[in-house]
Amino acid sequence: MRRILTRPLTFVLLAGLFVTGPQIGQAETQIPQSQSEISLGFAPLVKEAAPAVVNIYARIIRQDRNRSPFANDPFFDDFFRQFAQPQPRVQNSLGSGVILSADGIVVSNYHVVGEASDIRVVTNDRREYAAEVILADEASDLAILQLHNADDLPFLELRNSDAVEVGELTLAIGNPFGVGQTVSSGIISGLARTGTGGGQGFGYYIQTDAPINPGNSGGALIDVNGDLIGINTRILSRSGGSNGIGFAIPANLVREFVRQAQDGATEFQRPWAGMTGQPVDADLAEALGMARVDGMLISELHPQSPFVAAGFEVGDVVTAVDGEPVNSPSEMAFRLSVAGLGGQSEITRLRQGASATVQVALSEAPDEPASAPIQLNEQTPMPGLVVAQINPRVINRLQLPLSATGVVVLDPGPYAGRGGVQSGDIVMGVNGQPVAAPQDVPRLLLESGRWMQLDLLRQGKRVALRFRL
């Protein structure tokens, strides 16, 4: 049986005022009429919403390399490197999750369950379920779980997070420090926060001052109607405890994750923009003759970008996607991710002072020309090495510069990896001979004598690695 909020709730505010109504935009301020109304607090809301927030216990097995006693010695380290064999290490992870459907769809953070081999989910009423990850994405720090043999579970509805406003009351529900389910209150402190986390630049968060601590990750940030605003994911703190600056992943991105998971996707698919950009600051706005300081300036476009096909040029300013403002590359990535693949988005473009709305097709990065990956066999000096032709799909997967061309390392394998080769290295040459296609690599390696040299391009810097065969 679905358990969701079916009636407006009443809450006491700081000065004895309270908000009532099914939507925050329709709230009206009233004077409490009785002692029971004054003492009501958040109890009815918590009673309705808390059962849909779960505790997650995950076990992650990592392969760690034994540290050689000569690891810091520049001479002996090379000799003893091969003896430092990987050893399994069990890491236990504790976090929270939110039930989003009666049949056991749960959302949490990637850093809680993304690499877990064993996951247990415990509900508010102490029922315990085994679970598996059905979709996860490290860049967005989101993971979708499916509980085994679950039905008729309480769940939360997803709110349109673009309608959230600064100053709204909010509750954070989770399992901080493993002490058990805990509720903390606050307000929405900020929107469209970017650059607060790591990953690949897709950070785009709602900020709240509701206390969030370790263990709250994956828990719920809800509004006064019990709808899910976002998934608590990180804090800004020097001590590791809450300083009143917490961040949640907006519900609109969670909705797209759930949709793709239910459609059977095994990897989260986000549209490819094929561009790089920078926020418009005061100096840029003045140089471009803009009346306002907003938008993202396009600084580079890949020839196969769908924005090129739609007529965009370097120097254009993107100010909105589907009517929502865009002021940074992170916001652009978020808006396209929410829109999803297969359709079109309305992109508001500013060029030479004139604004226009342009339809852009949303598609994944094309695999053209074919990447044609090759894995080297045991007859070559570097068995297990995987190389491929660089194309838009490879650029997007490895986060290479848009201008990258040639051949790239997808997987260094055991031998090249020990010698310092990394995934994402662009192979410029082997033994002084240029490399233009994947098949050039095994051919040139087989022509090596007692010594072999790889000329690589790594994050814009040239690297030369020498090997004795």
The CATH number of the domain where 326 resides is what?
A: 2.30.42.10
Q: Determine the pLDDT at residue 40.
A: 61
Diameter over CA atoms, the chain: 91
Give the domain CATH number at 57. Answer: 2.40.10.120
290 and 318 within one domain: yes
pLDDT in tens, 212-246: 877 788 899 999 999 999 999 877 666 555 666 88
The reported pLDDT for the residue numbered 88 is: 58
- Using the 3D structure, point to which of 204, 238, 268 is the last residue of a domain: 268
Query: Would you say the pTM of this structure is higher than 0.85?
Result: no
At residue 304, does pLDDT exceed 70?
A: yes
Q: Rounded to whole angstroms, how far apart are CA atoms 336 and 252?
A: 11
| 31 in any annotated domain | no
Which DSSP category does 144 fall into? Answer: E
Looking at the chain, the whole-number percentage of residues with pLDDT higher than 70 is: 81
pLDDT of residue 108: 94
Q: How confident is the model at residue 33 (pLDDT cuts 50, 70, 90)?
A: low
36 pLDDT tier (thresholds 50, 70, 90): low
Identify the pLDDT of residue 200: 39
Query: Which secondary structure element, helix H or strand E, spans residue 334, and what is its range?
Result: helix 329-339
Span 21-35, mean pLDDT?
A: 49
Q: Is residue 24 part of a domain?
A: no
- Does residue 381 sit in the same domain as residue 401? yes
Check whether residue 222 and residue 75 sit in a common domain.
yes
Residue 160 in this model has a pLDDT that exceeds 60: yes
Residue 369 lies in a domain: no
151 and 237: one domain? yes
Angle at 443 between CA 442 and CA 444, to 5 degrees: 95
- In the predicted structure, residue 134 carries a pLDDT above the cut 70: yes
Total domains, the chain: 3
SS3 at position 329: helix
Reduce the DSSP state of residue 163 to 3 states and report it: helix
Does position 356 have pLDDT exceeding 80, yes or no?
Answer: yes
3-state secondary structure of 420: coil
Q: Above 70 in pLDDT, residue 463?
A: yes
Measured between alpha carbons, how far apart are the two ends of the chain, in Å? 67
Residue 174 pLDDT more than 80? yes
Residue 33 is assigned to a structural domain of this protein: no
Same structural domain for residues 258 and 314?
no
Last residue of a domain, one of 247, 268, 289: 268
- Which range is least confidently modeled, 33-47, 58-72, 207-221? 58-72
- Tell me the catalytic residues: 111, 141, 217
What is residue 31's predicted lDDT score, i.e. its pLDDT? Answer: 55
Say which residue the tokens 């091969």 belong to: 82
Q: Examine the pLDDT at 202 and tell me if it is beyond 60.
A: no
Determine the average pLDDT of the residues in 365-384: 93
Please state the rounded mean pLDDT for residues 322-339. Answer: 91
pLDDT at 34: 60
Answer whether residue 270 shows pLDDT above 50.
yes
Residues 115 and 180 in one domain: yes
- For the segment 402-430, the average pLDDT, to the nearest whole number, is 94
Confidence label for 7 from pLDDT (cuts 50, 70 and 90): very low
Mean pLDDT over each residue of the chain, to the nearest integer? 83
Q: What is the pLDDT of residue 454?
A: 94
List the single range of 25-29, 101-105, 147-151, 182-186 with lowest mean pLDDT.
25-29
Co-location of 159 and 224 in the same domain: yes
Tell me, yes or no, whether 356 lies in a domain: yes
Same domain for 90 and 218, yes or no, is yes
Decide which of 414 and 213 is more confident: 414
Q: How far is CA 389 from the centre of its chain?
A: 26
Q: Are residues 303 and 405 in contact, defined by beta-carbon separation less than 8 angstroms?
A: no
Residue with the bigger pLDDT between 247 and 72: it is 247
In 35-179, DSSP assigns E strands to: 53-65, 86-99, 105-108, 118-122, 128-137, 142-147, 169-174
Residue 376 and residue 440 in contact, taking contact as beta carbons nearer than 8 Å: no
Per-residue pLDDT averaged across 3-24, rounded? Answer: 37
Query: What would the mean pLDDT of 399-408 be, rounded to a whole number?
Result: 95
9 within some domain = no
The proportion of the chain whose per-residue pLDDT surpasses 90, expressed as a percent, equals 57
Boundaries of domain holding 302? 275-361
**Quick one: 119 and 224 in the same domain?**
yes
4: in domain: no
90 and 187 part of one domain:
yes
Q: Are residues 156 and 239 in the same domain?
A: yes
User: Burial of 310 by CB count in 10 Å (0-12 exposed, 13-18 middle, 19+ buried)?
Assistant: middle
- Predicted local distance difference test score (pLDDT) of residue 10: 38
Q: Which range among 124-128, 180-184, 291-295, 368-372 shows the weakest confidence by mean pLDDT? A: 180-184
Choose the final residue of a domain: 222, 246, 268. Answer: 268
Q: What is the rounded average pLDDT of the residues 273-297?
A: 91
Is the pLDDT at 77 greater than 80, yes or no? no
Determine, yes or no, domain membership for 25.
Answer: no
Answer whether residue 462 shows pLDDT above 90.
yes
Verify that 87 and 106 share a domain, yes or no. Answer: yes
Q: Judge whether residue 3 has pLDDT over 50.
A: no
Rounded Cα–Cα distance for residues 374 and 409 (Å)? 10
